[in-house]
Amino acid sequence: MTIPTQLVLHALLADPEQEMYGIEIGQAAGLPSGTVHPMLARLEGSGWLESRWEDIDPRREGRPARRYYRLTPTGVQLAHEALARSAHGHRLFPALRPAGGPA
């Protein structure tokens, strides 16, 4: 599991009941703006995430409806397991990992 995916899962697991939209997830994960959607798409396609359109009146709110994401119950469990495996098998930050093979 890549570091960015781990960061996204950590952000989502901070409050599994809370729905967040893309930018919020990216900011919570500390990732560059606009770069989380591929990860969200894969997680959603695998059933770890569910998403829905915000139920608002755009004219009243003055903005379009956003797409909100939330971990599914299965996703919460699988995310915890995956992060535990990643933490057990690898250091979280690549800068701290020992140097690999020759270039």
Partner 1 sequence: MAELPRAAFWPDRTVRLAARVLPAGANRDRYEREFLSELFGMSRGQQTRYAIGVLSRSWTLRVAVRHAATSPAPGLDTTSPAPRIPILCRLHIRHRWATAIAEDGGRYQRCLGCGKDRTEVDSNNFGGKVLGAGLAQIGGAGGMGSGGGFS
Which one of residues 21, 50, 70, 76 is an interface residue with partner 1 (CB under 8 A)? Answer: 21
Which residue is associated with the tokens 């606009």? 34
Query: How many Å apart are CA 93 and CA 36, to the nearest integer?
Result: 18
| The only residue of 30, 46, 52, 77 in contact with partner 1, by rule CB under 8 A | 46
Neighbours of 56 (CB within 10 A): 13
Q: Is 92 near partner 1 (CB under 8 A)?
A: no
> Can residue 97 be called a binding residue for partner 1 (CB under 8 A)?
yes
> Between residues 15 and 64, which has the closer beta carbon with respect to partner 1?
64
